[in-house]
Amino acid sequence: MKYDWKFKLKCVEDYKQGKWTEKPEWSDASIETFHQKIVIWSRTYDLRGLDGLKHKPTNKDWSAEERFELVAKVLAGYSIKSVAIEAGICDGQLSQWVRRYKLNGYDGLQLKKGRTSKDPIMSKKEKPKELTASEKEELILLRRQNEYLRAENAYLKKLRALIVQKQTESSVKAKKQESSKDSGKKDTD
């Protein structure tokens, strides 16, 4: 739940006078968490003034350079919380940027638009590596074997079709002969 900037300002003023504002009934945060928020609001107010307490209408798009400046401050020894408050962002976001920088360097701070592919093969757009001479020979041999097996498969299919055709023709002839014998017996009766 978001707190109104007027409520935040009242909490900050009370905090500066040495009092704690009571936690609202609708808030699901614990007392300790609520007090931590007030301390952060107070530090934000000291650094950024009243604008620091107001909600921003849209999220800022941070460039890789801006992200790097904040990460560099953290790596130089400043706490994540103090750098995040100064920049006006969540400390969790800044810790993600620091983690990405440690894992991937500056490239980890680049903006990546869109959804990542679940298939790692699809996400990599590398051209295939060159084949060695033995791999080329093996590929040629496999292609020849594949062509031979296709031809053999086609031959066997045609042979099976001819066998089925001859069987049906012979069964039709047998039926005709039986029907002609039956009709001959009927004529003599």
Instruction: Give the model's pLDDT for residue 100.
Output: 87
Instruction: Give the model's pLDDT for residue 142.
Output: 92
Q: Where does residue 107 rank: exposed (0-12), middle (13-18), buried (19+ CB within 10 A)? A: exposed
pLDDT < 70 positions in the chain: 1, 4-5, 50-59, 113-114, 116-128, 183-189
Q: What is the pTM of this model?
A: 0.44
Do the beta carbons of residue 11 and residue 23 sit within 8 Å?
no
Instruction: Give the model's pLDDT for residue 22.
Output: 72
